[in-house]
Amino acid sequence: MKDKLTWCNSCGRMTFHEALLEHIEHSSQEERDETGHWWSETWQILRCRGSRTVCVQVALLHSEERDEETGESKPQCTTYPPPTYRNRPSWESEIEYLLGCPNHMRSLMKELYICLQNECPAAAVMIVRSILEVMMIQTVGDKGTFAANLTEFHKQEFISGRQRKMIESVLEAGHASMHRGFIPERKDLSTLVDILEGLIQVMFVHFPQAKKLQERIPKRKSKRVYAPRPGS
């Protein structure tokens, strides 16, 4: 079996994969004679030539699914696990994040990236909103509503005015997904996750690291002031 060009989640790009195992299921001759339709399903276990990461790919061919230009049967391919278009942030392994970020919030972050990988944009937006709310309550306490929490978050100068407007757009997107059937496009969802990741990195990584840095900086020595001698 020839190598196959397939997306590798570990490499983050298309790479050549070797086929370790292949299994084919197809319609019987009796089925073809009775209906005139046919299908075949090819299961392959693939391994990346670079990272040696293993995935499973299923290619379904059906007599009714044809390419509009060539007229030939067009396979429908599904890969497990699905391709990841957005990697998890590197700072998730930082000790400050692991110790400072609440467990519930880190669990929601895991669910968020599962939604992103499995093309669940509406669920992802709602999780982004939930994470922001948990973060604000953890920081300033629960003021009763998302808007009140955001106001207090801004009042205590954890965010700037521009950042507040960005969070308000996330809130509106979450409301629209829950109540108005809004399904964000991938670029819009990436923007929302960018905002979330930036805030989390500042709150739970940069702030603690800056505090530790401040503690390590040597104190300035006070300048000794000499009093003038009498009669001078």
Q: Report the distance separating Cα 42 and Cα 81, nearest Å.
A: 16
58 burial (CB, 10 Å; 0-12 / 13-18 / 19+) is: middle
Determine how many CB atoms are found less than 10 A away from the CB of residue 133.
Answer: 18
Residues 94-126: pLDDT tens digits?
999 999 888 999 999 999 999 988 888 888 988
Rounded to an integer, what is the distance from CA 62 to the centroid of its chain? 34
Q: What is the pTM of this model?
A: 0.71
Lowest mean pLDDT of 21-30, 84-93, 220-229, name the range: 220-229
Only one residue has tokens 């990461």, namely 53
pLDDT of res. 32: 67
- 127 and 113 Cβ atoms separated by less than 8 Å: no
Dihedral angle, C-alpha 105, 106, 110, 111, nearest 10 °: -20
Say whether pLDDT at 232 is over 60.
Answer: no
| Nearest-angstrom CA–CA distance, 49 and 10 | 11
The tokens of 73 are what? 């049967």
Report pLDDT digits (tens) over 176-219.
877 787 788 888 888 889 989 999 999 899 988 888 888 888 88
Q: Answer for the pair 33, 44: CB distance below 8 angstroms, yes or no.
A: no
Helices of type H across the chain: 29-35, 95-100, 103-117, 121-140, 146-155, 161-179, 186-201, 207-216
Q: Which two tokens stand for residue 2?
A: 């020839």
- The whole-angstrom separation of Cα 54 and Cα 22 is 13
Angle at 210 between CA 208 and CA 211, to 5 degrees: 65
Distance, CA of 82 to CA of 55 (rounded, Å) = 9
Enter the tokens of residue 122: 């509406």
144-188 pLDDT, tens per residue?
888 899 999 999 888 888 888 888 888 788 778 777 877 888 888
